[in-house]
Amino acid sequence: MSRIGKKPVTVPAGVTASIDGRVLSVKGPKGTLSLNLRDEISYTVEDGGIVVKPANETKQARAFWGMQRTLVQNLVTGVTEGFTKKLLITGVGYRAASQGKVLKLQLGYSHDVNIDVPEGIEIKTPDQTTVEISGIDKQKVGQIAAEIRRWRKPEPYKGKGIKYDGEFIFRKEGKKK
């Protein structure tokens, strides 16, 4: 029995949810998101929220139950509050600058790294060593953050690279004489 799946997803005021065939659409103040629904799970939109339950008692239905409820919760949270990831850049000469729909990174390579910002994602650089990624789709925000981080992962000796805000980098001691 899924503890997460048992809780209904509350729909706040100003947010509307509707099921059309096998697609759940959630509309709120920040935009509209949709989710393709699984056949193993039954979804019902009630006055207070969205109830997610397994359609049958198979092992696969129970396995998808909690995850599908979390995906529905992410839709509701995305259209009301949105999601934000913050990246910190550490290293001499490493910096970032947002120029319209392109994020320009200088990461110690012989060339600048230009990353195109996808539709629905907003990237801000409050200073040269901080990148804030925000949007309503949690998957897109996390994916673009991971792609930016992939260019220069933090190394364990000096901690140089791109890391998530709050991420702990396990540090190693250097060579001893």
Each residue's pLDDT tens digit, 25-71: 999 999 999 999 988 899 999 888 899 999 888 999 889 999 999 99
Is residue 130 within 8 A of residue 86, CB to CB? The reply is yes
Q: For 94-134, write each residue's pLDDT tens digit.
A: 999 999 899 999 999 999 999 999 999 999 999 999 999 99
Contact 26, 36 (CB under 8 A): no
Full-model pTM: 0.87
- Reported as a single tens digit per residue, the pLDDT across 39-48 is 889 999 988 8
Q: Which two tokens stand for residue 39?
A: 């056949």
Q: What is the CATH number of domain 83-164?
A: 3.90.930.12
Return the domain boundaries, the chain: 3-80, 83-164
Q: Residues 141, 134: contact at Cβ < 8 Å?
A: yes
For 20, phi then psi, to 5°, come to -125, 100
Q: How confident is the model at residue 176 (pLDDT cuts 50, 70, 90)?
A: confident
Q: How many other C-beta atoms lie within 10 A of the C-beta of residue 62?
A: 16
Question: Does the 3-80 domain belong in CATH 3.90.930.12?
Answer: yes
